[in-house]
């Protein structure tokens, strides 16, 4: 057998490294927070079941086709004293190769269309939440009037029915472990549903390019046991503290002078709706489209220059001094 050339050896080595890299990635341990192949709710599990069925059929077809191809290449190859066999215009084979994929796709369409139809209906005893997508954050309005942002809290074991609306450009809502994707289109109302099997935090994000901070338009779904969710809901319906003192009081005054056109804080003069409702801001784990951990350092950087830490952010820089920023941070951290 003729020895491989240097170029052939490099290609072979590159191919082997590629194969081993793919195998190594496939054998990873812990699933990522947005691993859609690890569903944790009935809606996601149903979609995963369709994926498993489709993949299994595709894998079988791949093995059959590649097996026939390899057999044909070996069986009918050129040999000493015999030219390679050529095949042209076999009508029966062409008809069979057209009918088989058609029947397979028609068969797959039945469970797929049924799943789409079932998931488009509002489930019984569902928690209704209106989702409003904006650059670059999410607003959630519960059917009892509670409004919050970026972090959606839900009870386990209860269907959640979402009404999706857009305010500026096209976005797409996705919580990989709980449900599929759904576009959010301005001027159009879409719906989707999900259900969380167990308590925990589920990550998601916008999956439709919507501007400079598209990749920073994230979200969190936090699932609670039903009793714990009820307590959270009761706490969130309370207005902000009637009065604050010290640095927080200074920050409240600065906030009311600069931020109430956009932000709302229930129980105060802040009634804006174009930016997140901050009534219980300190109870949230993240802010700015669930991009930053809610802590003092990140808050200071955000208020000081939003555009610098989140490109394309529509929040203006009011040019506050370091002392004023400290006061505003103290006020926001009092909003529990």
pLDDT at res. 3: 58
Q: Residue 303 burial by CB count (10 A; 0-12/13-18/19+): exposed, middle or buried?
A: buried
Q: Which residues lie closer than 8 Å to 39 by C-beta, 6 or more apart? A: 45, 47, 48, 177, 178
Domains contained in the chain, CATH given: 37-120 (1.10.287.90), 127-236 (2.60.40.420), 246-332 (2.60.40.420)
On whether the CB atoms of residues 180 and 207 are closer than 8 A, the answer is no
Q: 48 CB contacts (<8 Å, ≥6 apart)?
A: 36, 37, 39
Which residues lie below 8 Å from residue 4, measured CB to CB, with a gap of 6+?
12
53, burial (CB in 10 Å: exposed 0-12, middle 13-18, buried 19+): middle
Asked, as a colleague might, if the bond just before 136 is cis with ω within 30 of 0, I would say yes
pTM listed for this prediction: 0.83
CA angle 180, 275, 330 (to 5 degrees): 115
- Res 16: pLDDT: 80
pLDDT, position 35: 84
Give residue 9's pLDDT. Answer: 72
Which sign, positive or negative, has the C-alpha torsion 327, 332, 335, 336? negative
Instruction: Flag residues of the chain having pLDDT under 70.
Output: 1-4, 8, 25-31
Q: Look up residue 10 and give its two tokens.
A: 């490099």
Per-residue model confidence (pLDDT) at position 1: 44
Q: What is the pLDDT of residue 66?
A: 94
User: Which residue bears the tokens 């439709």?
Assistant: 208
Burial class (CB in 10 A: 0-12, 13-18, 19+), 63: exposed
């Amino acid at each position: 057998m003729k020895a491989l050339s240097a170029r052939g050896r490099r290609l072979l080595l590159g191919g082997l490294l590629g194969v081993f890299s793919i195998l190594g990635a496939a054998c990873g341990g812990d699933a990522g927070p947005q691993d859609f192949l690890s569903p944790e709710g009935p809606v996601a599990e149903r979609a995963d079941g369709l994926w498993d069925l489709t993949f299994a059929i595709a894998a079988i077809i791949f093995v059959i086709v590649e097996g026939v191809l390899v057999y044909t290449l070996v069986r009918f190859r050129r040999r000493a004293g015999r030219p390679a066999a050529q095949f042209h215009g076999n009508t029966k084979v062409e008809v069979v190769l057209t009918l088989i994929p058609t029947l397979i796709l028609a068969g797959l369409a039945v469970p797929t269309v049924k799943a789409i139809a079932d998931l488009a209906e509002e489930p019984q005893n569902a928690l209704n939440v209106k989702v409003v997508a904006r650059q670059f954050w999410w607003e959630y309005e519960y059917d009892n009037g509670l409004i919050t942002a970026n972090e959606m809290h839900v009870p386990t074991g209860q269907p959640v029915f979402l009404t999706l609306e857009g305010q500026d450009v096209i976005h797409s809502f996705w919580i990989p472990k709980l449900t599929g994707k759904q576009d959010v289109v301005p001027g159009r109302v879409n719906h989707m549903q999900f259900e969380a099997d167990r308590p925990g935090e589920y990550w998601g994000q916008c999956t439709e390019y919507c501007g400079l901070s598209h990749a920073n338009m994230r979200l969190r779904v936090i699932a609670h046991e039903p009793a714990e969710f009820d307590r959270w809901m009761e706490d969130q319906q309370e207005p902000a503290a009637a009065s604050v003192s010290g640095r927080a009081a200074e920050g409240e005054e600065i906030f009311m002078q600069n931020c109430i056109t956009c932000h709302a804080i229930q129980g105060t003069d802040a009634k804006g709706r174009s930016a997140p409702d901050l009534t219980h801001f300190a109870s949230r784990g993240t802010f700015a489209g669930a991009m930053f951990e809610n802590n003092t350092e990140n808050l200071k950087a955000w208020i000081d220059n939003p555009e610098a830490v989140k490109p394309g952010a529509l929040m203006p820089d009011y040019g506050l001094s370091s002392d004023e920023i400290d006061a505003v941070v103290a006020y926001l951290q009092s909003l529990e």
